[in-house]
Structure 1
Amino acid sequence: MHILLLDLGKEMRGGQWQVFYLARALARSQEFTVTLAAPANTPLLTHAAEVEGITLLPLSGARDWGICNIYKLRRAVTKHGAQVIHTNCAKSASLGGIIKKMCSNAFRLIHTRRVSYPLKKGWSGKKYLLADAVVGVSQEISDIMMESAPLLDRSKVSTIHSGIDASRYKPKKDRNDNRIVIGMIGALTEQKGHVVLVNALGELAKYKNLPTWEARFVGDGPLFGEIKDLAEELEISSHLALLGRQDAREQLPYFDLLAVPSVNGEGSSGVIKEGWVGQLPVVASDLPSNLELVEDQKNGLTFPNHDHEKLAKLLRTLMLDEQLRARLVEGGNRRVQKFTDMKMATSYMELYKQSW
């Protein structure tokens, strides 16, 4: 069976890594062949070019309504015989929907949705109705899609959590100091909850008899100035390092704790899984998607969304309780085995076969 994976993202973020893992698994399988379509010169195509068996289809850009992209995708169906087009972002879902209207039953259309926002009215929502199968990367996403689109056939909706390739990550480093480093990874945008964590750090600074600590934020984005100003206002600038965008794998080995204070829109958090692979105790907000991963007190700690005071208390507890940290790390080691890249890919392979 020939699968065409479609993603119009220009950067190599979590969603693109999922597409790469899936393309790699398909190329190595005995039952499938795979073409990967993405904008030319994107990191996704660069990584995929290193894997034998993945056919690359460079697109003219990231426009879902681009004439050249429509032509190339339609040709991939009519000439090269793609039996499944699997879209992996909102724009690619639009492009896939256009091709589906043109080619009707020539192929099966599958959409994967990675954010937990309701489907909008008009074409933004209708394109999901055109699919033969729709996947949410968390049960919360699947539920919200069905709630916000009453015409969406429930039998077409399934949940497949994102996976992680543990072999890409480095072991924890011994820094040879007595500090506690609190890490956070993610674009500096509202939904990731950096402001919640900065306020929690302000509370943490009020506690006495704590080990020397600091926080490191990996990522960039529009909230840089706001985060910096808030840290200065709370007088914790000396505790906070804004490291900008870089490969999180280079920083994870130097963290001691990982905070995931997302406030909305979360899918199947790749950062939580990175924390588990990196041997870190994870503290996460209680968004439904996060709770599908984190079992409180077993493989992480959870706090009420937006509650920076509770987050500060949990960070303090972890700083002072080495046994708790070790227990959560052990629980994370076990839990992450349920969310590997191959488990994710195998679930999609089963879906492809069922779609025919």
Structure 2
Amino acid sequence: METICFFNTAKAWGGGEKWHFEVSRHLHQNGFDVFVVAHEKSALLEKLIGAQIPCKGIAISNLSFINPFSVRQVYQSLASRKIKTIVMNLSRDVKIAGRMAKKAGIPRIIYRRGSAIPIKNTWFNRYLFKNIITEILANSQATKKTILANNANLFDENNINVIHNGIDTGKTVPQAKKNNILTILTLGRLEYQKNHKFLLHLAVALKKRGLQFLIRIGGDGRLKEQLTKMAITLGVGDYIRFDGFIESPLTYINQADIFVLPSRWEGFGYVLAEAALCKKPIVAFDVSSNPELISHGTSGYLLPKDDVNAFADAIIKLDQQPELREAFGRNGHQFVTEHLDQNQQLQKIQDYLVHA
């Protein structure tokens, strides 16, 4: 049986690593020959070992593609198996594993793109996309568009496929304790992309309008200290709670009255699917892949990026109309159940990887 190889050397656990783990586990459980290469000190490798999925730990850095020892090690790992398809998630992995996959004669070299950021039009990228990568798998239409944003001829658009991430729609969502105060909640790393500073300015606007509320921010990151100080400086420290890393996202999200996402961009906003599964109304920006998960005026509001007043208007409207919050929540739940069911999406990925 020919092998499907997944190659992901990120140390940290994120959306791409979650995708690689869930897809490789699904294929392995369904009898396909799977082999996963992960960073030797990564959370992904730990989960693969725990799930008894055939895997190998390796040490790869951003400059490993110019290290002869690393290049040879990757080549030997790939050439020693009868691999038909390799799927990579990081640009640094494409530079080394993609090239070695080509050398080893692997016919399908797939770059799985999960970030809605335009690809730089460098000579090296042009070489990789013209000579190494055979297909691209994107997690949203927005991500697909950004691939060719800086160079329409970078890659054949017909070889870019889109399959959205899935969510376990059968998972039981724990009941949350109701608070007397309006709870506005978000979940995401405290990094530039997630744009949490916007929520601090939103708190200022809501405070001026006399609304009684609490904004809860789940997640950790490099900007935590800066954001905490900024909340105090703006006079909204009592209206903001930083809850740190969240172990159980659905349990956490279910404590919200309204879920908000101020991200500057999202390849695929998985937390939006989770919020919809919890039947929460959503307020987010009309950017990147958000319109693929939220229907404006039906399951939430999609608003101009960084428009504090529009965001505040939407929050107050949802606060004053609990029946609207419930309707948005029901509609969002119906959407993810019908279109983003995990089993359904995993089957699409299986068909793409195995039968294409």
Query: Structure 1 residue 164: deviation in Å?
Result: 2.0
218 and 246 in structure 1: CA distance in 2 versus 1, 3 angstrom threshold: same
Contact 1:22 1:341 in 2 (8 A): no
Give the 3 Å change call, closer, same or farther, for CA 169–186 of structure 1 in structure 2: farther
How far off its partner does 1:137 sit?
1.1
| Matching residue of 1:78 | 79
Alignment check: 8 A CA contact 2:86 2:101 kept? no
1:329 Cα deviation from its structure 2 partner: 0.9
**Could you tell me how far 1:307 is from its partner in structure 2?**
0.7
Q: So what's the TM-score if we normalise by structure 2?
A: 0.90
Offset, 1:77: 2.9
1:193 aligns with 2:195: yes
Letter in 1 for 2:47: H
Paired residues of 1:164 and 1:339 also in contact (CA < 8 A): yes
3-state SS of 1:148 partner: coil
Distance 1:283 1:67, change over 3 A: farther
Alpha-carbon distance between aligned partners in 2 of 1:268 and 1:39, rounded to the nearest angstrom? 24
Describe the shift of the 1:307–1:70 C-alpha distance in structure 2 as closer, same or farther (beyond 3 A): same
> Contact (CA 8 Å) 1:220, 1:245: kept in 2 or not?
yes
The verdict on how the C-alpha distance between 1:93 and 1:248 changes in structure 2, with shifts beyond 3 A counting, is farther
For the Cα contact (< 8 Å) 1:10–1:62, is it kept in 2?
A: no
Equivalent position to 2:177, from 160, 163, 174? 174
Q: Which amino acid aligns with 2:56?
A: L
Cα separation, partners in 2 of 1:67 and 1:254, compared to 1, 3 Å? farther
List alignment gaps of at least 5 residues for structure 1: none
Shift in Å, 1:91: 2.2
Deviations 1:296-315 (A, max 9, x none): 12122111111111111111
CA contact (8 A) 1:39 1:62 kept: no
Contact in 2 for aligned 1:214/1:239 (Cα 8 Å): yes
Task: Answer yes or no: is the 8 Å Cα contact 1:18–1:163 preserved in 2.
Answer: no
Choose which of 156, 161, 166 in structure 1 pairs with 2:159.
156
Query: What's the CA shift for 1:44?
Result: 1.2
- The residue type equivalent to 1:199 in the other structure is H
Structure 1 counterpart of 2:56: 57
Alignment of 1:302-341 (within 5 A): 302-337=302-337, 338-341=339-342
Instruction: Give the direction of change, closer, same or farther, for the CA distance of 1:71–1:170 in structure 2 (3 Å limit).
Output: farther
Q: Structure 2: which amino acid aligns with 1:146?
A: L
CA contact (8 A) 2:278 2:333 kept: no
Deviates more, 1:68-77 or 1:198-207: 68-77
Give SS of 2:18's match: helix
SS at match of 1:242: strand
Output the amino acid matched with 1:320.
Q
Rounded to whole Å, the distance in 2 between the matches of 1:274 and 1:315 is 19
CA contact 2:188–2:194 (8 Å) conserved in 1? yes
SS at match of 2:127: helix
How far apart, in 2, do the equivalents of 1:100 and 1:126 lie?
Answer: 15
The alignment partner of 1:287 has SS state of: coil
Hey, what's the Cα distance between the residues in 2 that align with 1:72 and 1:304? Answer: 48
Q: 2 CA distance for matches of 1:165 and 1:94?
A: 33
What does the per-residue CA deviation read over 1:189-231, in whole Å, with 9 as the maximum and x for residues that have no partner?
22212112211111111223x4x42111112223223322332
Contact in 2 for aligned 1:172/1:279 (Cα 8 Å): no
Give the CA deviation at 1:125: 4.8
How many residues were matched structurally? Answer: 348
Q: Which residue of structure 2 lines up, in the alignment, with residue 111 of structure 1?
A: 111
- Given the superposition, is the C-alpha separation of residues 142 and 40 from structure 1 closer, same or farther in structure 2, using an over 3 Å criterion? same
Q: Secondary structure at the match of 1:77?
A: helix
Report sequence identity in percent: 22
Superposed CA offset, 1:129-176 (max 9, x none): 32111122111211221232313112211111122234566423124x
For residues 128 and 163 of structure 1, what CA distance do their matches in structure 2 show? Answer: 27
How many Å separate the matches in 1 of 2:70 and 2:353? 23
Q: Which residue is 1:132 aligned to?
A: 134
Q: TM-score, normalised by structure 1?
A: 0.90
Distance in 2 (CA, whole Å) between partners of 1:268 and 1:257 is 20
| Match in the other structure for 1:41 | 41
Do the aligned residues in 2 keep the contact of 1:77 with 1:107 (CA within 8 Å)?
A: no
